[in-house]
Copies of this chain bind each other. A is one copy, B any other.
Amino acid sequence: MTDQRAFLAVDWGTTNRRVYRIVGGIVEQEERDDRGILAVGQGGFASEAAAIRARMDDLPMLCAGMVGSNRGWIEVPYVDCPADLASVAAGVAWVEPGRTAIVPGVARRGSDHSDVMRGEEVQLLGAVAARLVPENSLLCQPGTHCKWAMMAGGSIASFATAMTGELFALLQHHSLLAAQMNDTIAPNDDFRRGVRDSADGVLLTRLFGVRADFVTGRRGPTAAAYVSGLLIGTDVRAQVCDRAGEVFVLADTTLGGLYAAAIEGAGARAHLIDSHAAFVSGITSIWNTLS
């Protein structure tokens, strides 16, 4: 039933969407679909929200993710690093007061260049709130754009984004190596060799080497797992080397398993954390701050 703390939480990304009906911090209903912001399109968000309420319950709604970008429902300004639950909650924008709101993203404005996130901040802060990770720790969120966040005292102190997943997809679909990249990607020997070979830091040369090894008969025709290891290894080594001996990886088990293998391959320790539990914890914490 509709108690005062009940609300609908929407993790509304570019391609996918997850909706949760949360009552007293407990997920009572959950659905996942591909109605990301690109599928919804501008002008379509109000009717999407109405449809969610029709399916789930007529409750207040708190959204996070790319729904707050310039291609989303309304553009919500970024909150700056260091960002904690209080500053993120203070940046929440109401589409309709008391009824529908959107969580802001977080920006890091460094001396040399900026970085931004939208949606990941809920998981990061939620992971600490739920005591899934220490208050001071290095968190990794693999994906198209992999986030690496330094948490300090439970705040997002700093973060960096690597274009790892996108670059892999470009190579797999459009490059000279595409025809070689049809094998299953798993933390197997090929993957681990890629992680090892990433240690010399010459990614541009290693990528061409995949082709050269094939035409000289040094390797078979398959290279997707190896290239994945090269890219994830490069990503991991840039972030982990001198920063922390432990990394907490927020991901599903497939991608999380690859990152864990690469992190271990780079000499650090990896812990897999349930990213959905972290999201629910974070969005509930923000909601409780608001209401």
Residues of A participating in the B interface, judged by any CB pair closer than 8 Å: 69-70, 78, 107, 109, 112-116, 145-146, 160-164, 166-167, 170-171, 173-176, 197, 201-209, 211-213, 215-216, 218, 231, 234-235, 238
| A203 contacts across to B, CB distance below 8 A | 203
Known A204-B238, A235-B204, A238-B204; contact A212-B114, beta-carbon cutoff 8 A: yes
Known A112-B197, A113-B197, A202-B238; contact A163-B207, beta-carbon cutoff 8 A: yes
A204 pairs with B116, CB closer than 8 A:
no
Residue among A69, A162, A173, A206 with the most chain B CB within 10 A? A162
CB < 8 Å: which of B164, B170, B238 contacts A201? B238
Number of this chain's copies in the complex: 2
B216 pairs with A109, CB closer than 8 A:
yes
| A212 contacts across to B, CB distance below 8 A | 107, 113-116, 161
Residue among A112, A114, A161, A211 with the most chain B CB within 10 A? A114
CB < 8 Å: which of B163, B206, B211, B238 contacts A208? B163
B107 pairs with A205, CB closer than 8 A:
no
Once the chains are docked, how many angstroms separate the CA of A68 from the CA of B195? 33
30 contacting pairs across A/B (C-beta < 8 A): A69-B215, A107-B216, A109-B216, A113-B206, A113-B212, A113-B218, A114-B213, A114-B216, A115-B208, A115-B209, A115-B212, A145-B176, A161-B212, A162-B202, A162-B205, A163-B175, A163-B205, A163-B207, A164-B204, A166-B175, A166-B176, A167-B204, A170-B174, A173-B174, A201-B201, A201-B238, A202-B238, A204-B231, A204-B234, A204-B235
